[in-house]
Amino acid sequence: MDALIPRQRRPRPPARSWRSPVTSPFVRRRRLATELRTLREQHGMTADDLARRIYRSRMTVSKLENARCRPDVGDIVKIMKVLGITGGKFDEIFKIACDAAERGWWDAYGDAMGARQRMYADIESGAATIRGYNQMSIPGLVQSPEFVQALIDLDLAEGSEIGYVPERTIQARLQRQQTFFRPGGPTAEIVLDEFVLKRLAVPAATMASQLRHTVDVVSRQPHFTILVLPLDARLSPGRLPPSTYVMYTFPDPVDRPMVVAENANTDLVHTVPGEVAKYERLHDRLRQATLPALESLSLLADTADRLSEQAGYDT
């Protein structure tokens, strides 16, 4: 790993040669999928029938209706013609399809940056607000290159296939942060479980450096807040969070609020209002039990000092 990313040299963020989408293509693909499925069912047509009428496979229609692929705008036009969609509705669906087919800077990295990070970058590109709970790690938006490298080292030490290119994923993380903290970017509030400060298996010096970096970033970014949930927090009655999650809202009210809940091997995306409401209530309960913003940053700084002392003793 040292040959890929020299420890003494910090990777530079890539130059901005991309155009940031106004809306998230990921979000619009999900909206397009719902629209297409609803229109087909309203016209009493099966997916097999529609596939034959547009001269595509049943799999293509299934992927479109489940938001599992970037749409071909030409196919969407054919579908609307077959279903007899005209006028304002045609224009609406066409605009959604164009947004869904848009490419962002993350597409240039492909699988090299990792599927999860690519999805987050996509959704963030069009988000208005972000609220989340980090149960096991420091939020990616404030991770330093050295800390990301330490996490990569952990993955490699496990001996499993990591599914991304280490040097590229660090470059992508830097570009994701640069994009997020642009003028007019989203407002974010992250609840950080104090457990993260106690048990993360990276060297003490690395963690101390990361915590100072976090305090520095948050102190300079008025639209980004971290609230620490103490280990001994007294929560109001209700269920505990089963995993890390992120909740998003979007400028266009037609784009539904979304929750992405992390699991070990996959991510669950919730847009059904009832499911989203459960996470909103959960987040409100967690937030009520957190330390205030300034006290949270003080705890991060104090923990960094303690870890630095520990690192000194270890050496």
Report whether CATH 2.30.30 matches the domain 113-314. no
By percentage, how much of the chain surpasses pLDDT 70?
A: 92
The answer to whether the beta carbons of residues 4 and 171 sit under 8 Å apart is no
Phi, psi of 290 (to 5 degrees): -80, 165
SS3 251: coil
SS3 289: coil
**164 vs 2, residue with greater confidence:** 164
Name the pTM for this structure: 0.88
Residue range 111-170, pLDDT digits in tens:
899 889 999 999 999 999 999 999 999 999 999 999 999 999 988 888 777 888 999 999
Q: What is the mean pLDDT of the chain?
A: 90
Any idea which fold 25-100 has?
434 Repressor (Amino-terminal Domain) (1.10.260)
Count the neighbouring beta carbons within 10 Å of the beta carbon of residue 119: 16
Residue range 6-49, pLDDT digits in tens:
333 434 444 444 445 568 999 999 999 999 999 999 999 999 99
Instruction: State the distance between the two ends of the chain, measured CA to CA, in whole angstroms.
Output: 23
Q: Assign 3-state DSSP to the chain and report helix, strand, coil percentages, each to 5.
A: 55, 10, 35
What mean pLDDT comes out for the span 178-196?
Answer: 96
Q: Cβ contacts of residue 48 below 8 Å, gap of 6+? A: 58
| Residue pointed to by tokens 């640069």 | 178
153 token code pair: 């080292």
The answer to whether the beta carbons of residues 102 and 125 sit under 8 Å apart is no
What mean pLDDT comes out for the span 190-200?
Answer: 93
DSSP letter at 292 equals P
What mean pLDDT comes out for the span 205-228?
Answer: 97
Q: Cβ contacts of residue 66 below 8 Å, gap of 6+? A: 33
pLDDT at 180 over 60: yes
Give the sign of the dihedral formed by CA 282, CA 284, CA 289, CA 293.
positive
In the chain, CATH 1.10.260.40 sits at 25-100
229 token code pair: 């949930």
Q: How far apart are CA 178 and CA 217, in angstroms?
A: 12
At 266 the pLDDT is: 82
By percentage, how much of the chain surpasses pLDDT 90?
A: 81
At 314 the pLDDT is: 61
For the chain, where are the alpha helices, taking DSSP H only?
25-42, 47-53, 58-65, 73-83, 87-100, 115-124, 145-157, 166-180, 195-199, 204-220, 273-288, 293-314
Q: How far apart are CA 53 and CA 170, in angstroms?
A: 45
What mean pLDDT comes out for the span 232-260?
Answer: 93
27 token code pair: 């979000």
pLDDT at 265 over 80: no
Q: What is the amino acid identity at position 295?
A: E
| Residue pointed to by tokens 């069009």 | 126
At 16 the pLDDT is: 40
In the chain, CATH 3.30.870 sits at 113-314
The closest of 218, 189, 209 to 148, measured between CA atoms, is 209
Residue range 51-94, pLDDT digits in tens:
999 999 999 999 999 999 999 999 999 999 999 999 999 999 99
Query: 160: part of which helix (H) or strand (E)?
Result: none
